[in-house]
Each structure stands twice: as structure tokens, then as C-alpha cells.
């Protein structure tokens, strides 16, 4: 993880987050994803209780990562969490979502149909991955107050540093709701591998091959 001075009294830094950051992580995910078209579709925003469902969904996703000790990278401005990225190997991500206990917790939290929507969406993402070992970035976001300031570059750089350490990995994958961001991600070496349709919404699937010869 690295740090860089961005203001006289604040330092922009990245670090691994443990469960003591759970509340801040859940809050950031809520503000980042509540207006995301794909999450609105998965969690059926046209029905009453959408905001409660997205709070419950981000709570369960965060809890699974902290419990399994899967990497969560945080971007901090001073002491404030401004961005977050969840990272999981393709094998681990599938293992967790296949567990009956995890599925039961999700169904009790967001309902059966929304859980099925989420599992279908995650499977669609995994289906685009190469057969070899790779990494999924299911949740990557900057708090709305701090967008368009270049913070995403620092967060993504820390994510790639982590994923590229694994010499057995073929690369990393994520999905994108806002196609206006495609040039940004292509600049980091991501390639479009497919599209996922969920209701009236479409998600672009991206894959970044691990740089050849990187140690």
C-alpha cells in the first residue's frame, strides 16, 4: 500500500481493511451503489423497501469478506474512507456463494428473488473468465463526494499491485454499469469480454490480463 500527499492537512493512502472498518465500509457501499442501475435491477428497486434491501445486501457482502479474510482495500483521505475495493480469487468467490449458510443469510436479508438475481449476475461474470486462476473485483467504488478527482486511479493501482503478486493468476475482472468509464478502464489494460443483461439494464464485463513477465 502507498501514500501520497494531496492537501496540506490530508494524505491520500491505501490500506487493507479489517472488521473494525465494517460500519464505514457498509456506509460507503450504500452511497456508492444505491443509484447503480444493475443493483437497482437485482434488488428490485421498483418494489417497496429497496433502500433497506441494499443496506442488507452490502452488509451481508461485507460480512462474508471479513469473515473469510478476503482482501478489502480501502482508500483514505486522512482518516476518512473515500473508496473501497473487494478482491477475491475466482475459486474463493464461487466457494462462498455456493455455501448454503451464505445463501440462506442473503435470502433472509434481501428475499429469495433478489438473492437469485444476484447469484445469476455473479455467475454471468464468472462465465466470462478464463479457465485459469483469476481475480474478481465485485465491488469497487469511490464515494460520490470524491469522484472525478483522480482517486479511482490510486485505488485501482493498489488493487492491481495485489492481484499481480499472484504469478499463477491470468488477470482480474470487473463489471461496469456506466459505459462512459470504458476509456478509463481500457487505459488500465481492461478488455471487454461480454455483456450481461438483467431486466432492462446491461452490464459490461471487463478483464485485465496480468502483465507478462511481472514478478
Q: What's the pLDDT score for residue 10?
A: 67
CA 83 to CA 31: how far, in whole Å? 11
Q: Are 135 and 90 in contact (CB under 8 A)?
A: yes
**Weakest-pLDDT range from 45-49, 62-66, 88-92, 129-133:** 129-133
* Cell numbers placing 23: 460500519
Residues of the chain by 3-state class (helix, strand, coil), percent to 5: 45, 25, 30
Using DSSP, how many helices (H) and how many strands (E) does the chain show?
Answer: 8, 10
Crossing angle for the helix pair 50-68 and 90-97, to the nearest 10 degrees: 120
pLDDT, mean of residues 2-18:
67
Per-residue confidence (pLDDT) for residue 94, from 0 to 100: 87
The closest of 147, 135, 177, 185 to 28, measured between CA atoms, is 147
Q: Provide the Cα torsion 201, 177, 129, 58; round to 10°.
A: -100
Q: Which residue has the higher pLDDT, 179 or 16?
A: 16
User: Which has the closest alpha carbon to 18: 79, 80, 83, 62?
Assistant: 62
Neighbours of 177 (CB within 10 A): 18
Looking at the chain, the whole-number percentage of residues with pLDDT higher than 90 is 68
- pLDDT (tens digit per residue) in 138-181: 999 999 999 989 999 999 999 999 999 998 899 999 998 888 89
- List of residues 6+ apart from 91 with CB closer than 8 A: 133
**What confidence tier does 6 reach under pLDDT thresholds 50, 70, 90?**
very low
Give the domains, in start order, of the chain with CATH numbers: 3-209 (3.40.630.30)
Q: Which of 130, 208, 127 lies closest to 172, judged by CA?
A: 208
pLDDT of 200 above 80: no
At 189 the pLDDT is: 94
Quote the pLDDT of residue 194: 87
pLDDT digits (tens, 9 = 90+) for 94-139: 898 889 999 999 999 999 999 999 998 888 888 877 777 899 999 9
For the chain, first and last CA: distance in Å?
17
Whether 4 shows a pLDDT value over 50: the answer reads: no
pLDDT(7) > 60 = no
Return phi, psi of residue 59, to 5°: -65, -45
Task: Report which of 167, 159, 215 is spatially closest to residue 189, judged by C-alpha positions.
Answer: 159
Amino acid at each position: 500500500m502507498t501514500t501520497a500527499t494531496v492537501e496540506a492537512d490530508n494524505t491520500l493512502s491505501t490500506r487493507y481493511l479489517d472488521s473494525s472498518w465494517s460500519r464505514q465500509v457498509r456506509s460507503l457501499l450504500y452511497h456508492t451503489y444505491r443509484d447503480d442501475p444493475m443493483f437497482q435491477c437485482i434488488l428490485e428497486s421498483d418494489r417497496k423497501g429497496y433502500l433497506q434491501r441494499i443496506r442488507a445486501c452490502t452488509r451481508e457482502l461485507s460480512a462474508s469478506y471479513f469473515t473469510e479474510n478476503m482482501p478489502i482495500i480501502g482508500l483514505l483521505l486522512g482518516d476518512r474512507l473515500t473508496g473501497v475495493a473487494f478482491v477475491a480469487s475466482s475459486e474463493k468467490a464461487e466457494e462462498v456463494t455456493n455455501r448454503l449458510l451464505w445463501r440462506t443469510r442473503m435470502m433472509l436479508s434481501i428475499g429469495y428473488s433478489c438473492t437469485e438475481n444476484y447469484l445469476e449476475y455473479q455467475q454471468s461474470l464468472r462465465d466470462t473468465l478464463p479457465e485459469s486462476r483469476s481475480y474478481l473485483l465485485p465491488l469497487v467504488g469511490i464515494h460520490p463526494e470524491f469522484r472525478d478527482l483522480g482517486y479511482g486511479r490510486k485505488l485501482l493501482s493498489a488493487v492491481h499491485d495485489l492481484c499481480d503478486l499472484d504469478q499463477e493468476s491470468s488477470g482480474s475482472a470487473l463489471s461496469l454499469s456506466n459505459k462512459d468509464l470504458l476509456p478509463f478502464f481500457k487505459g488500465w489494460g481492461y478488455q471487454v469480454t461480454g455483456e450481461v443483461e438483467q431486466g432492462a439494464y446491461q452490464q459490461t464485463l471487463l478483464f485485465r490480463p496480468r502483465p507478462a513477465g511481472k514478478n
